[in-house]
Structure 1
Amino acid sequence: MTTPAYDTVIRNGILGSDSGLAEGDIAIRDGRIAALGLGLASGLNEIDAQGRIVLPGGVDTHCHIEQMSGAGVMNADTFETATRSALWGGTTTTVSFAAQHPGQRIGTVLEAYRKLAKTGAMTDHAFHMIVADTSGENMSDLAHAIDGGNRSIKIFTTYDKVRLADAEILTTMRVAKEHGALVCVHAENDAMIREATARLIAEGRTAPRDHADSHPRLAELEAIERMCRLSELTGQRLMIFHVSTREGVEIIRAARARGVPVHAETCTHYLFQTRDILDRPDGAKFLCSPPQRDQVDQDALWTALGHDELELVTSDHAPYRMDETGKFLHGRDAPFNKIANGQPGLELRLPLLFDAMVSRGRLGLARFVEVTATAPARIFGLETKGAIAVGKDADLVLWNPEREHVLPEALHDNVGYNPFAGQRLKGHADIVLRRGETVIADGVLHAQPGSGRWLSMRQAG
């Protein structure tokens, strides 16, 4: 009896990439893509992809998992529940945060998060190291962690417990530059937010809808400009997280024209929500920072995606339940500045974008693959992820482009609500493979907690 040449062969599908569509089959051996073409030899397992589009598994490089926020509120999701939800939405790789708080050692924090992920994560995963304390041995810890393959750092310019002063940011950038890491930044001006918040509270404007005015657009613009100038000074690669404004895109465009090594992303909630969503009776569900902006900003973000000025779309998954453990830790009548910020998004990112970009034709399939898989893998140095190519991990999603479905009230995470519940989408992730193993099929999850692997980041650009 002839031994099959491959572990798995996916046949009769249309393969999608950042350059478009092509007919072909995919052969998988030892978790990697071993061959592409037509008429490939047999596999021990054969998957018929007739009528489906085969795309790379999603790479979500901005999600908060099993993390204590700077305001002292614990995420609703564990690594098990968050990554379970990610797989259901077609995302096979996540990059979440190892969140240092003042007084903690970076190395100790990173090891604690790695242990949590090792027992719970179902996606392959890496970490951004949040730097909130540069004192003592922390910069030595940071250098050691970077050299060990943790090549992404997150800094904040606002929030009491995590924000860094400019001098500390420069110190962090110098270490990152020397050791080959990317610095990501939440860029908002802290003083502007404090002043606006105090004024609103004094005026009795405390509802969720007032949150949008507590984070003035100028707070984002000033901080993006300042961070670009610090990048220009140091030559350090920079990623601006969650760009929400038209002018923010313009600042990034101008910085790149000067040769500043700056990347930028936006998030699904800025592409599909505007600030008027905060006017709803359940507006607390949708609070996030920066807040949603106006239609002119949303249009500008879509245009920037089409021009590669925004290079990727992430979920900024920040899960808090609508109860006393999460959004209402300070009571159901708490003012907006006491309501936990964030929305669930890991499971929703790809379905929402597939419907908009592929089914409805806004920017197209090639750009969908680029901003959800290929670009994040490239920018963050996840060299085995993000593309259908020989030698890459066999992280694959078989999309049914004709299947319509209505988003449910709750998802597969531990949040208990869905900010896009009731929306009808066209295009569905029917089958998901992670390193050649079928983890979602026929409406059943087959992955086990802890089956995801930690990923070393390479120096990339």
Structure 2
Amino acid sequence: MGLDTIVKNGLIVTESGVLPAGQSIGVSKGKISVIGYDLPEGPETKIIDAEGAYITPGGVDSHVHLSQRNAPTGDSWETGTRSAIAGGTTTVLAFTSQTKEMTTLFPVLEEYHGKARGQAYCDYGFHFIITKPNEKILKEELPRIAKEEGITSVKLYMTYELYKLSDHELLDTLLACRALGMTTMIHAENGDMIQFLVKGLERNGNTAPFFHAIAGPKIAEDEASYRAIRLAELVDAPILLVHVSADGAMKHIRDAQTKLLPVHAETCPHYLFLLSDKLANQEHDHFHGAKGVCSPPLRHNVEDLEALWRGIANGTFTVFSSDHAPTKYDHPQGKKAGIINGIPKFSKIPKGIPGIETRLSLLFSESEGCLPKNQARLSLARFVQLTSGNPARLYGLTQKGCILPGYDADLVIWHPQGKGGRVISQDNLHHDVDYTPFEGIHVRNWPRYTILRGEIVWNADQNGITGPKGVGNFIKRENGRLLVGKLGQLPEGMVEGERDFWLPKSDI
């Protein structure tokens, strides 16, 4: 059979569950060739012994920010992807961003390729942030971006003055992406509400980091999420609402899914494990809470965490991503840019926190891979769906996210049960940021080996990266698949054929 590698003595986890024990994974030329019993070993076949541990697909983190222009102290492609594989992630999707003055997408795309090329420790792809959807971009450039460049997803903002689109611009872009089969991600917060609250807080002298959580209340996410869903429903377009942090937004998503609307949802580790008291932390200095500033902000109550955990378990959330958007803390261009003339100004603190390396372990620790069924928050199959299979399908990564013959041999081998637990510490992480918001949290397991296309690139026994910089490939993606709901439905009150009166003739 000519197998290059055999991974044996493990419990193979798929999206359907754990396969019967005793099966091995045979790898040839970076691909999974066969799964079965008693695979033939050749004289040069490399054997990887899982020692009874679970084997899951390599993680797909579909929401990371690397080498971003607006985060000069954040992770580069080298340090961010190094951190990814140390945490079991073998594919990342990051953002190249149009700014308002750009009338074309291709120069910034080539610039971003230049930042990533030859630097990545894992495979990668891009999303495009669209901030000025003129007719040339929507009609001429997006089709080329999708077909020629293999970038089949965009992200749109409903907040931040430098990024946000009007409802009309959102509709135009949703319609264009629907016609191309592209996945549309939406950051749903009501920017005007937030700016109104920021102004009032600053007027009253409430500018410490904690007030970032007051300036972005759940109602701002609730309203914008509902509006995004209704806009998408009007033009019959699928959407993904990113980094959902609150039960109100989750309820709108669940209601839409119940009506079979194609509304996908993402949440992140910080919304499952952290609360807004993180922003009030003055452990080391009065500004320490800036380490927890992200957007949407951390919520106030344990009940908010529990609501999102229910969404993890019951299928409301399609993907679980890190939203790794770090800036250094102790740096004048990092979080401390929020200190103006010695006074903390939460509105000036760069938003975002690191999490690319800790994402998988935090979730796996709460799964049946580490806890009895009656205590676990999710099954192993659900873990694989959220962290690998669903993001691969949603974003057109046709060779990723599954342990099946023909797929890339991207694997995570965990420690045998009862071993591999650790306390998350900045001292043990591989990013280029000077803190982790998850400092001190105990996880019950950590990836022992990360395998990228058949090669071990992380070995926890050596606490080291074993794969070379530059081994990561840029992946041209196909169109993603709908994982929730279906197209072709009419909003309540519309009659059959009503859209035909106003849709562009090419879309009818």
Please, what TM-score do these two structures have when normalized by structure 1? 0.96
Kept in 2, the 8 Å contact 1:182–1:236? The answer is no
Q: Secondary structure at the match of 2:446?
A: strand
User: In the aligned structure 2, how far is the partner of 1:108 from the partner of 1:146?
Assistant: 16
Q: Which residue of structure 2 aligns with residue 427 of structure 1? A: 445
What whole-Å deviation, never above 9, does each CA across 1:409-451 have from its counterpart, x for those lacking one? 2420100112112222211211111011111123221222221
1:10 alignment partner, SS class: strand
Match of 1:120 in 2: 119
Distance 1:368 1:256 in 2: 20
The structure richer in strand per residue is 1
Report the secondary structure of 2:186's partner residue: strand
What is the match of residue 301 of structure 1? 308
Range with bigger deviation, 88-97 or 370-379: 370-379
Q: Given the alignment, which residue of 416, 420, 427 partners 2:434?
A: 416
1:192 is aligned to 2:193: yes
For residues 61-113 of structure 1, what are the alpha-carbon distances to aligned partners after superposition, in whole Å with 9 as ceiling and x for unaligned? 011110123xxx42511000000000000000101101111122212222221
Q: Confirm whether residue 405 of structure 1 aligns to residue 422 of structure 2.
A: yes
SS of equivalent residue, structure 2 residue 366: helix
Q: Which moved more, 1:49-58 or 1:338-347?
A: 49-58
Query: Residues 4-43 of structure 1: matches in 2 within 5 Å?
Result: 5-22=2-19, 23=21, 24-43=23-42
2:48 — aligned with what?
A: 47
Partner residue in 2 for 1:386:
401
SS in 1 for 2:38: coil
Q: Which runs of no fewer than 5 residues in structure 2 stay unpaired?
A: 283-287, 483-508
Contact 1:143 1:175 in 2 (8 A): no
Contact 2:338–2:347 (CA<8 Å) still a contact in 1? Answer: no
Looking at structure 2, the residues matched to 366 and 430 of structure 1 have their Cα atoms a distance apart, in angstroms, of 20
Q: CA deviation at 1:367?
A: 1.2
- Aligned AA for 1:284? A
Partner of 1:364: 379
Alignment of 1:92 with 2:110, yes or no, is no
Q: Distance in 2 between matches of 1:451 and 1:333?
A: 45
In the alignment, the residues of structure 2 paired with residue 12 and residue 439 of structure 1 have an alpha-carbon distance, to the nearest angstrom, of: 20
Q: Distance in 2 between matches of 1:270 and 1:367?
A: 18
CA contact (8 A) 1:409 1:422 kept: no
Would you say the 8 A contact 1:67–1:75 is kept in 2?
no
Structure 2 CA distance for aligned equivalents of residues 50 and 21 of structure 1 = 16
Q: Which moved more, 1:20-29 or 1:351-360?
A: 351-360
Q: Which moved more, 1:400-409 or 1:243-252?
A: 400-409
Moved more, 257-266 or 25-34: 257-266
Q: Which whole-Å CA distance do the structure 1 matches of 2:137 and 2:73 have between them?
A: 25
State the secondary structure of the residue aligned to 1:60: strand
CA shift, 1:17, in A, is 1.4
Letter aligned with residue 84 of structure 1: R
Please give the secondary structure, in 1, of the residue aligned with 2:33. Answer: strand
**In the superposition, relative to structure 1, how do residues 75 and 62 fare at CA in structure 2: closer, same or farther (>3 Å)?**
farther
- Tell me which amino acid in the other structure corresponds to 1:205: N
Q: Deviations over 1:135-188 (max 9, x none)?
A: 363222222102232110000011011111111111111211111101101000
| Between 361-370 and 324-333, the greater mean CA deviation after superposition | 324-333
- 1:310 match: 317
Residue 97 of structure 2 is aligned to residue 129 of structure 1: no
User: What residue is the counterpart of 1:438 in the other structure?
Assistant: 456
1:319 aligns with 2:326: yes
Q: In the alignment, which residue of structure 1 is the partner of 2:143?
A: 143
1:27–1:34 contact (8 Å) kept in structure 2: yes
Matched with 1:214 is 215
The alpha carbon displacement at 1:119 in A equals 2.0
- Provide the C-alpha distance between the structure 2 equivalents of 1:168 and 1:367, rounded to a whole number of angstroms: 36
Contact 1:53 1:399 in 2 (8 A): yes
Task: Write the letter of the residue equivalent to 2:391.
Answer: P
Give secondary structure in 2 for the equivalent of 1:427. Answer: coil
Deviations, residues 245-292 of structure 1 (Å, cap 9, x unaligned): 111111111222333211001100000011122111121101101011
AA of the residue aligned to 2:8: R
Whether the aligned pair in 2 keeps the contact of 1:107 and 1:142 (CA below 8 Å) is: no
CA distance in 2, matches of 1:202, 1:84: 43
Deviation of 1:385 (Å): 0.7
Q: In structure 1, what is the equivalent of residue 298 of structure 2?
A: 292
**Partner Cα separation in structure 1 for residue 94 and residue 186 of structure 2:** 14
Q: Which residue of 1 aligns with 2:498?
A: none
Question: What CA distance in whole angstroms lies between the structure 2 residues aligned with 1:53 and 1:256?
Answer: 32
Q: Give the Å deviation of 1:298.
A: 1.1
Q: Normalised by the size of structure 2, how large is the TM-score?
A: 0.87
Letter of the 1:141 partner, please give it: E
Which amino acid letter does the alignment assign opposite residue 312 of structure 2?
Answer: L
Q: C-alpha root-mean-square deviation of aligned residues, in Å? A: 1.4
Partner of 1:355: 365
Is the radius of gyration larger for structure 1 or structure 2? Answer: 2
Give the CA deviation at 1:115. Answer: 2.2
Q: 1-side partners of 2:73 and 2:403: how far apart?
A: 33
CA displacement at 1:325 relative to structure 2: 2.5
Contact 1:62–1:95 under 8 Å retained in 2: yes
Larger deviation: 388-397 or 305-314?
A: 305-314
Structure-2 separation of matches of 1:124 and 1:381: 14
- Residue 405 of structure 1 and its aligned partner are, at CA, apart by 1.4
- 1:93-112 matches, within 5 Å, as 93-104=91-102, 105-112=104-111
Counterpart of 1:204 in structure 2: which amino acid?
G
Q: Give the equivalent residue in structure 2 for 1:340.
A: 350
Task: Give the Cα separation in 2 of the matches to 1:75 and 1:373.
Answer: 29
Moved more, 204-213 or 80-89: 204-213
C-alpha contact 1:126 1:454 (8 A) present in aligned 2: yes
Within 2, Cα distance between the matches of 1:288 and 1:233? Answer: 31
Structure 1 regions of 5+ residues with no counterpart?
A: none
Kindly indicate whether the alpha-carbon contact (under 8 Å) linking 2:338 and 2:346 is maintained by their aligned counterparts in 1: no
